[in-house]
Structure 1
Amino acid sequence: MPHVRIHAAAVLLAAGALVAGAALPASAINSYNAAPAPERTEVGALVATWDADGDPATPDRVDWVCSGTMVDANTFLTAAHCTTDWPENVRFFVSLEQDVQGALDEAGRAHPGDPAAVAEEVGVEGVAHSHPLYPGPSSDTRDIAVVELDAADTADRWSFTPAALPAAGALDTPGPRGLDATGFVVAGYGTQESHRGPGGHTHPGGGVRMKAPVSFNALNNAWIRLAMTAPQGNGGACYGDSGGPNFAELDGRRTLVATTITGDGPCYATNVVYRLDTAGARAFLSPFVTLP
């Protein structure tokens, strides 16, 4: 189940950004062992405008839908399931606001009935490029995308240091024992783990940049599985964190090693993340960003 908050027919929240209703408390990542991340200014939210009433001439919806990371001055890295299967008139924007839901709410009050103006106030518009072979097989779904922005426009809005990408095979070198001892941190704007209420299970919150520790579980050719279990001191990702970063300390440097893709439905156990040190991921990224 992808950790996005996208669409099914018109646009629903598919597993990564789920319900972030305005009446719900604003937080992100799991509620346990998590903290706000105002210092992670390279981490942003993917905002979209699109048509949902059958009249594609003008957009009538605007919302944040996924998370992601600036990997150079004009390249925002996210997941392909965040940037595909949209109405033809979709427009993508990137916001590096700490509280993107709050920014959207404020812009909505200033520009009632004008989704495009709302999006332009909170973000910088870009062009999405999804992996051409997405969706691939489960062994490697090629669930990776970038949004190319105007570097000058982005610099005018925000100050950030792009995330460092890993060298080829960087996660193979330590081996399982070394990865067991490696500190991992997930970040994003997603909702909280499943809460039981009068109406059944919900995923409250979302729209504020948060971070949480996670720990190594397993390494595959295209994937890392990271444990989100609270008793081990972990937090974790949930709906809306799709495309967001998973950092690891490699050789003393904070490195963006993978992006959040999916996990268990209640968001309690496992974050399944897409490796960025593989030949396939690097081949996709190489036209857009200088790789180590």
Structure 2
Amino acid sequence: MRRTALLSTLTAGALAAVLAGAGPASAINTYHAQPAPERTEVGALVVQWDNDLDPATPDVVDWYCTGTMVDRNTFLTAAHCTTDWAPGVRFYVSLAQNVQAELDAAKAKGLSPAAVAAKVGVEGTEHTSPDYPGNSADSHDIGVIEFGDAGAATLAERWPFTPAVLPSAGQLDALGSRALDAARWEVMGYGTEEALRGPGGHTHPGGGARMKADVGFDALNKTWVRLAMNESRGYGGACYGDSGGPNFVTVEGRRILAATTITGDSPCYATNVVYRMDTDSARGFLDDFVDLP
């Protein structure tokens, strides 16, 4: 899978906003990864933004990050996906399995940027944590796209889905590292593939289709979970464009959205660093938008 924008531009541990207009970050690794057509609660953040210095007419449309529907009208993603855009930016969500193919088909018809965006996604309103970018202990790298009743109805009609289950307060701490290490972890997203080495350096091909892969538990920190994605251990992992996407852990047969992808190693070979959803800071932000367990 690929990582999202932040993942695509920053090395592990670096927590800074991505400049507006940067290309999509990467996706799920090619090794040990599979398509995820059944995971319709996981979607792509599609952005219509300005590149011609006329904010009244946003002229570029592309998918940019990953996220997850956590109730009927709330799409959870990362703050670095929703900040530092040019004036006039508009945010859409697509729950399609292959959003890149749908964008390509819409653009091939010669539609306007606004028409392309509306064809492939449903427009919503962004809300970003006011404490972002925070610091290395707590980046507050969390945001949501909210939909009104009409938008929520359109989403459900176009892509029927069951919202992801968020963790209860301190659930990961209560489980402890031993139980988390024994549990199954899965990462999902639309991101690019791991780095290919070439004469010009690393490139990250692919992206734009929803994929999934198993990852391994490494460590639990105050606001982070560190997950292993080493091919030799039978894992896949995230890459650019997977930012904001879900990392699920299965607890007593129930899939919990434990954390969201934020960053990792720049080639996307080894580590996925993900932001916990069971902390006071994450829950304090989400409490304004969803009913928390």
What TM-score results when the alignment is normalised by the length of structure 2?
0.92
Mapped to 2, the partners of 1:157 and 1:197 lie a distance apart of: 41
- State whether structure 2 residue 254 is matched by structure 1 residue 253: yes
Matched, 1:17 2:18: no
Per-residue CA deviation, residues 21-57 of structure 1 (Å, 9 max, x unaligned), is xxxxxxx400101000001010000000011111212
Aligned-partner Cα distance in 2 for 1:8–1:229: 26
Q: What residue in structure 2 maps to residue 110 of structure 1? A: 109
Provide the C-alpha distance between the structure 2 equivalents of 1:288 and 1:9, rounded to a whole number of angstroms.
27
Alignment deviations for residues 127-163 of structure 1 (CA, whole Å, 9 cap, x no partner): 0000001010110010000000121121221100000
The one-character-per-residue Cα deviations of 1:100-152 (angstroms, maximum 9, x if unpaired) are 0000000111234x111101000000000000010101100100000001211
Contact 1:4 1:66 in 2 (8 A): no
Aligned to 1:2: 6
Supply the distance in 2 between the matched residues of 1:270 and 1:116 (Cα, whole angstroms). Answer: 37
- Superposition RMSD on alpha carbons, in Å? 1.6
CA-CA distance at 1:272 after TM superposition: 0.2
The letter for the 2-side match of 1:145 is G
Indicate yes or no: 2:214 matched with 1:213.
yes
CA distance in 1, matches of 2:8, 2:292: 26
Distance 2:286 2:35 in 1: 29
Which contiguous aligned blocks of 4+ residues in structure 1 show a shift greater than 4 angstroms? 4-10
Helix, strand or coil: the match of 1:187? strand
Matched, 1:79 2:78: yes
In 2, distance between residues paired with 1:155 and 1:88? 29
- Deviation of the 1:4 alpha carbon: 5.2
Q: SS where residue 172 of structure 1 aligns? A: helix
- Are 1:111 and 1:117, in contact at CA under 8 Å, matched by a contact in 2? no
My pick for the range that moved more, 117-126 or 151-160, is 151-160
Aligned ranges 1:1-292 → 2 under 5 Å: 2-3=6-7, 9=19, 11-13=21-23, 17-18=25-26, 28-112=27-111, 114-149=112-147, 150-292=151-293
State the one-letter code of the partner of 1:263. Answer: G
Percent of pairs with identical residues = 64
Q: Which residue number corresponds to residue 25 of structure 1?
A: none
Q: In 2, are the aligned partners of 1:131 and 1:143 still within 8 Å (CA)? A: yes
Amino acid at match of 2:180: L
Unaligned runs of 5+ in 2: 11-16
Q: Which whole-Å CA distance do the structure 2 matches of 1:252 and 1:155 have between them?
A: 26
Shift of 1:252: 1.7
Change beyond 3 A, Cα 1:177–1:9: closer
Taking the aligned partners of 2:20 and 2:172, their CA distance within structure 1 comes to: 39
Q: What secondary structure is seen at the aligned counterpart in 1 of 2:6?
A: coil
Aligned residues of 2:9 and 2:18 also touching (Cα < 8 A)? no
Residue 38 of structure 2 aligns to a residue whose secondary structure is coil
In the alignment, residue 127 of structure 2 is paired with which amino acid?
H
Q: In 1, are the aligned partners of 2:218 and 2:226 still within 8 Å (CA)?
A: yes
- Residue 8 of structure 1 and its aligned partner are, at CA, apart by 5.4
Distance 1:95 1:159, change over 3 A: same
1:12 to partner: Cα distance: 1.6
Task: State the alpha-carbon separation in 2 of the partners of residues 3 and 69 from structure 1.
Answer: 17
Q: Which sits farther off after the overlay, 196-205 or 270-279?
A: 196-205
Query: Matched residues in 2 for 1:9 and 1:216: separation?
Result: 31
Shift of 1:10: 5.3
Q: Aligned equivalents of 1:207 and 1:51: distance in 2?
A: 21
Query: 2: CA distance between counterparts of 1:8 and 1:143?
Result: 12
What is the alpha-carbon distance in structure 2 between the residues aligned to residue 216 and residue 122 of structure 1? 35
Q: What is the match of residue 13 of structure 2?
A: none
Determine helix, strand or coil for the equivalent of 1:234: coil
- Return the offset for 1:192: 0.4
The aligned amino acid for 1:120 is: A
Cα distance, 1:86 vs structure 2: 0.3
- Per-residue CA deviation, residues 179-222 of structure 1 (Å, 9 max, x unaligned), is 11011000000000000124321000000000000010010110
